[in-house]
Amino acid sequence: MRRLIVSNIMSLDGFIAGPKGELDWFVKEGFMTETEFGEHARNLNRSVDGILLGRKTYQAFAGYWPDATDNDPVVTERMNNLPKIVFSRTLEKVEWGKWGNARLVKGDAGEEVRRLKSEPGKAL
């Protein structure tokens, strides 16, 4: 059975974004390539076969990663090429730039995760 890895990023006060929803700290030059977090992100991305996302994270990621040029090339390549499974009851479609490897799940998230875990492959 595949493992499911949960990776949450937040500050000690419980936030990832700034007051206006900005994520600019994440894309600062050198952050992914020169920090311990960058090494963690590269290792995590190498260990999985897919990425599971909720609506808000999908929308933030889809607005950045498909056109990213200022980040770690290893992380950018994996973020764009790995299949994405997006859980949302409100979205009508999901896209991921030219890759087209995002799939929308509108039904029971627990049921879909159980099904994905039963398939062969690396962790999700």
**β-sheet with 51-54: strand ranges across:** 51-54, 84-87, 102-105
Distance (Å, whole) CA 89 – CA 122: 27
Give kind and range of the element (H or E) at residue 77: helix 73-81
| Average confidence (pLDDT) over 4-23 | 76
C-alpha to C-alpha distance for 48 and 74, rounded to whole angstroms: 14
Phi and psi, residue 54, nearest 5°:
-85, 175
CA distance to 8, 25, 32, 43, 100, per residue, from 74 (Å): 20, 19, 10, 10, 19
Q: What integer is the mean pLDDT of 37-58?
A: 86
Q: Which of 1-10, 25-34, 54-63 has the lowest mean pLDDT?
A: 25-34
Distance CA(2)–CA(116), nearest Å, equals 8
- Which of 46-55, 72-81, 103-112 is predicted with the least confidence, judged by mean pLDDT? 72-81
- Chain segment 65-74, per-residue pLDDT in tens: 898 876 678 8
Convert the pLDDT of each residue in 105-120 to its tens digit: 999 999 999 999 999 9
Indicate left, alpha or beta for 101 from its phi (over 0: left) and psi (-120 to 50: alpha).
alpha
What is the per-residue pLDDT for 31? 62
